Structure 1
Amino acid sequence: MQTATTDTAFQARVAAEADREVAAFLAAHDDDVRALAHRPAMARLLALAAVFTEPGSGYFAQETLATAMRRCLDRLETLQGPTGLFDGTNLSSPPDSAFTLNDACLAVRLVRATETPDHLLAEVDERLEAIIATSVDAMVAGGVHTPNHRWELSAALAQINTLHPRQDIGARIEQWLAEGIDQLPDGMYSERSPLYATAVTNPSLLTIADATGRTDLLDHVRRNLAAFLPWFNADGTVESVFSRRQDQWMQFGAAPFLHLYRRLAAQDGRADFAAAATWLARLPLHEPAKLLALTRLDPWLSAALPADPPSHAAALPAPLAPAAAALESCGAYRFRGAGSVATVFGGCDPLVPGVGSGLATNPTFLRFGHGAAVLSDLRLSRSFFDLGPFRSQDTVRQGGVLVLAEQLEANFYQPLPPARQRPDGIYALEHEGRFSAGMEFSSRAADVHWLATEIRIKAAGGEVGLDIGFEGTHTAFALELTFQPGGVLDGVEPAGAHGTFQLLGGTGTYRVGTDVIEFGPGLPADPDTPATYNPGESYRYLGGTNAAGGTKVYITGRTSGTHRFTVRGYTLAD
């Protein structure tokens, strides 16, 4: 495969950071290999193989790595089960084994691409070859349990098929691919997760495309990377509030996107992807030793990028900072202006099965940043039958306004009709939406209580206006503003726990350096409207919470009529 001129500076940096990664675990963790699970044991072996085979590495052809490499191989052979699969949280797991086998195949390819014969590399090749061969039957027959597992498993099979060609392997890959790639209309995958997009789906689709010639799969990667462009943050993170996986609760670092943008920037000659790759390269490299292995095997990754880098290192390049962006299928919207960025999220999934893995349930409906000052989470609690915070179930655009809406219902139940009564008093155990009980709720008449909440949001010129309206039950609400720590609050009063405040009138400010976020107006205190966040019974029953961490300010009131609030950013004069 021919590419543009090699980017020698990038290659040298990757090799140097890979050396540091390897040096760190050799110094601190060389003796702990016997405690490693299969995936980190294989990742370590791949890292060692990457620097051992890299002429620009300080570990190039260093036999001092032999002991560490053999310990990793010993550990992998010990952990591989009789079927050829590996155990983890998921026992005898084809998809979990696929992560390890993908790295194993990568290591074998790396070893075989090394021109100089070496007895240690020959041993690594032979022992990994045996591990891979033992797994084939189980991997071909095995199943999955998350959307991305299909592609990780298929990627492993595609690599295995280049080493052990079998007709049934190709047929199995096609069987998985025939389900269709789970890509939403706006380019996100069904899990809506930057973590799984970078760790699994996109790398897997690239691997399958390269190994099988299915170049159509690259179009899915292109669409996903294009969809993510507006969602990077100047602090080196990428927005994940809309994810259906665990990263919806995290500040997800953007560095894992680097090799994806770099590959397709070089292959397609795309200036927007090149701008993203150049900006991402300013961050600490993610898994540099694995990146080194990939650059050795994929010439596109080591090619010079097709466009000049952005002129200002601290700023996001233009392709990553449009004035507005939307992921309609995720209910996510972003607005930039006057040095501020506002992110609106109204795409929570229905909680019919309850809070659980695989659902988007983050109740943060607004994030707002102005320079170093960041309002990381704006949430709304209501004292309504312990059903938890506001989560929009219906988000629409009305001109320049986003309308987020939710209606909650809770019931009191009437006596069972005579025909459903039982002499023994034992009735069907049912879940009625809040709790479960042996009361056969579905056979009872109900008195319904309801509360409708609508939040109208307009973002423009570095300012966000919010109209929060209620209908139905008259009860208390608490608007919770959570700021990233490190700034100074003004205009607020202490409220209960340390680090918790309340805005009782007028406006408050949060300042970091010269960057300021102004918010308000506040509302008077009322003993019946507590300044607190309630995650809902589904969390509290188990002693859990989904509370955001940071400096908190509450504005409290009653669920009657409409309340108008404003959040805006500005910069103080030096």
Structure 2
Amino acid sequence: MDTAFLEQVSRAADRHVADFLATHDDDDVQALAHRPAMARLLDLVTVFTETGSSFHLADRPGAAMGPCLDRLEALQGPTGLFDGTNLCSPPDSAFTLNDVCLALRLIRRLAAPGPLLEEVDARLSAIVARSVDAMVAGGVHTPNHRWELCAALAQVNLLQPRADIPPRIAQWLAEGIDQLPDGMYSERSPLYATAVTNPSLLTIADCADRPELVDHVRRNLTAFLPWFNGDGTVESVFSRRQDQWMAFGAAPFLHLYRRLAAQDGRPDFAAAAAWLARFPLHEPAKLLAIARLDPRLAGTGPAAPPPAAGVLSLPRALAPEEAALESCGVYRFRSGASVATVFGGCDPLVPGVGSGLATNPSFLRFGHGAALLSDVRLSRSFFDLGPFRSQRALRQDRSMVLSEEVQANFYQPLPPERVRADGVYALEHEGRFSAAMEFSARPRDIHRLATEIVVQCDAGHVGLDIGFAGTQTAFALELTFRPGGVLDGVERVGDAGTFRLVAGTGSYRVGNEVIEFGPGLPMDPDDPAGYNPGESYRYLGGTNAAGGVKVYITGRTAGSHRFRFRGYTVPG
């Protein structure tokens, strides 16, 4: 047993439970939705039954269990499902029921649970029994929901076996796991890979005797290895879910790498697990519960290789010189303390900006040590169609070619045969907006703007060549830096935190680590020193603007423009 790891998890679980017990009362619990109510109950059961916990068999966590049970029973509807944001949703209920089953499995490992835990067992078992019919018959609405639902059914079948559960799991699994050739799942999301798909596939593998599913987890974890950052985050710009807009913390990957390191004897997974354990643990009480049920988490794995020199704190297994996820259109190049990430895999916006699409317009990230240029974006004043989004990424050694063409139309009068006496025409969406003008029947004057960006990644340098063809208009290259550093060589524009580079080079320094950028371009009264998310956002008063310290370089879409970024460390 890896006693040091278990003690680390147990201490963190105790701190977590102590924090919520400090404010835990009936009013607090009655405000909880079903998922956090059950998550809290699982945490209480875990520390209450953990011999090494300061809460072992203690009165305070024991008394706090009853209100959580009351809340769960109140929220369970007549169908057996839990009501919430998605109403009586089978997959949302599955998240809660998976935790219900974990708690029941912990209790049933005890030789003598005692009256309190016997009551918890009875009430949770009744919750499970009331849910099964709806869970077996229910449907889903995102890819990962299928596997969360199957995981809940697999655990339920361990505790309350039913003949109709295994065929239902088989029916969902027959669709095939939505894994892309390079190991990413179709949602391309580290959030859902860690919160849903990977843990669910492991649960189904363990509880429904489907060991072949572990290989999908193995491939996904292998794919993620080069995409961790020294600050404890993992790259998510290519995601199709909400984490494409986040700096996503990598801690939820810990138990996945730790389990597969032990199961497969892989030093690279062990290195990832050892590095992840240096950061604050994610959901530590639940991690403790899983470790008690899965001895592979609690045991010692293969020895982790030493960390790489000069690449922040990342071990060598997580810091290869080059990495690519072809299916996501994302590429990474490292040199010493510098790392460049190039993204050219946005989804087409045919249905418009919406959930389930990769639409982040940040096409470059460049970091040198603690200095981070988190987002490079390109806005163009072209019919309010929004920023540059490349849907193609062509690799040429250490260069990436990103391209996009946008168009907008002016519409001519309708042909005589389509003219209506009443003046009422079909309501249509023409790409930018909707109107009752029957756009599809009209001749049009087309305006086009093509943009090509070549990103050249050399040792500690990134070159950016931006070329335009078509309509001449204004552009703004937006550089967003993570706060905490000092800018030099730029001039302030309007609001605090916004600057402009009009000549020469600028720099951004964090400690001894510097990112130099430029050159600037002369100011033009028509150039927009700002970011335009496009009409699809602005019409609703929304934005997808990146947060941070912003520097703009503005110009005209005539010919081509060359920019350069360089990372270096100041001695001393």
TM-score bracket, normalised by the shorter chain, equals over 0.9
Q: Does the residue aligned with 2:141 lie in a helix, a strand or coil?
A: coil
Partner of 2:499: 501
Alpha-carbon separation, structure 2, partners of 1:441 and 1:66: 67
Q: Does the residue aligned with 1:167 lie in a helix, a strand or coil?
A: coil
Q: Does the residue aligned with 1:76 lie in a helix, a strand or coil?
A: helix
**Residue pair 2:332, 2:342 contacting (<8 A) in 1 also:** yes
Q: Does the residue aligned with 2:472 lie in a helix, a strand or coil?
A: coil
2:231 matches 1:243: no
Partner of 2:54: 58
Instruction: Give 1:468's match in structure 2, choosing from 448, 466, 469.
Output: 466
**Amino acid in structure 1 at the alignment position of 2:8:** R
2:287 matches 1:291: yes
| Aligned residues: CA RMSD | 1.0
Query: How far does residue 401 in structure 1 lie from its aligned partner after superposition?
Result: 1.7
Partner of 1:371: 369
Q: Does the residue aligned with 1:106 lie in a helix, a strand or coil?
A: helix
Alignment of 1:367-406 (within 5 A): 367-406=365-404
Query: How far does residue 212 in structure 1 lie from its aligned partner after superposition?
Result: 1.2
TM-score relative to the length of structure 2 = 0.98
Q: Does the residue aligned with 2:193 lie in a helix, a strand or coil?
A: helix
**Residue pair 2:44, 2:62 contacting (<8 A) in 1 also:** no
Q: Does the residue aligned with 1:532 lie in a helix, a strand or coil?
A: coil
- Which runs of no fewer than 5 residues in structure 1 stay unpaired? 1-5
Partner of 1:3: none
Q: Does the residue aligned with 1:216 lie in a helix, a strand or coil?
A: helix
Q: Does the residue aligned with 2:24 lie in a helix, a strand or coil?
A: helix
**Residue pair 2:418, 2:441 contacting (<8 A) in 1 also:** yes
Partner of 1:37: 33
Partner of 1:458: 456
Alignment of 1:308-347 (within 5 A): 308=304, 310=306, 315-347=313-345
Alignment of 1:554-569 (within 5 A): 554-569=552-567
Partner of 2:517: 519
Alpha-carbon separation, structure 2, partners of 1:47 and 1:167: 31
Partner of 1:17: 12
Partner of 2:261: 265
Instruction: Give 1:173's match in structure 2, choosing from 169, 173, 179.
Output: 169
Partner of 1:571: 569
Alpha-carbon separation, structure 2, partners of 1:159 and 1:570: 53
Partner of 1:305: 301
Query: How far does residue 116 in structure 1 lie from its aligned partner after superposition?
Result: 2.8
- Which runs of no fewer than 5 residues in structure 2 stay unpaired? none
**Residue pair 1:514, 1:572 contacting (<8 A) in 2 also:** yes
Alpha-carbon separation, structure 2, partners of 1:117 and 1:477: 68
**Amino acid in structure 1 at the alignment position of 2:429:** H
Instruction: Give 2:84's match in structure 1, choosing from 72, 85, 88.
Output: 88
Partner of 2:548: 550
Partner of 2:526: 528
Most deviating of 390-399 and 238-247: 390-399
2:117 matches 1:121: yes
Instruction: Give 2:276's match in structure 1, choosing from 277, 280, 285.
Output: 280
Q: Does the residue aligned with 2:451 lie in a helix, a strand or coil?
A: strand
Alignment of 1:167-246 (within 5 A): 167-246=163-242
TM-score relative to the length of structure 1 = 0.98
Deviations along 1:444-465, one digit per CA (max 9) or x if unpaired, are 1111000000000111201101
Deviations along 1:502-528, one digit per CA (max 9) or x if unpaired, are 111111111111100000111000001
Alpha-carbon separation, structure 2, partners of 1:390 and 1:204: 36
Which stretches of structure 1, 4 residues or more, deviate above 6 A after TM superposition?
Answer: none
Partner of 2:249: 253
Q: Does the residue aligned with 2:402 lie in a helix, a strand or coil?
A: strand
Alpha-carbon separation, structure 1, partners of 2:428 and 2:495: 38
Query: How far does residue 496 in structure 1 lie from its aligned partner after superposition?
Result: 2.1
Q: Does the residue aligned with 1:28 lie in a helix, a strand or coil?
A: coil
Alpha-carbon separation, structure 2, partners of 1:308 and 1:530: 51
**Residue pair 1:240, 1:247 contacting (<8 A) in 2 also:** yes
**Amino acid in structure 2 at the alignment position of 1:185:** P
Deviations along 1:22-41, one digit per CA (max 9) or x if unpaired, are 11111123330011000000
Deviations along 1:319-375, one digit per CA (max 9) or x if unpaired, are 000001000100111111031011111111011111100000100000111111110
**Residue pair 1:454, 1:468 contacting (<8 A) in 2 also:** yes
**Residue pair 1:278, 1:309 contacting (<8 A) in 2 also:** no
Partner of 2:64: 68
Call closer, same or farther: CA 1:250–1:233 in 2, change over 3 Å. same
**Residue pair 2:241, 2:356 contacting (<8 A) in 1 also:** yes
Query: How far does residue 309 in structure 1 lie from its aligned partner after superposition?
Result: 5.6
Alpha-carbon separation, structure 2, partners of 1:320 and 1:486: 25
Alpha-carbon separation, structure 1, partners of 2:407 and 2:94: 44
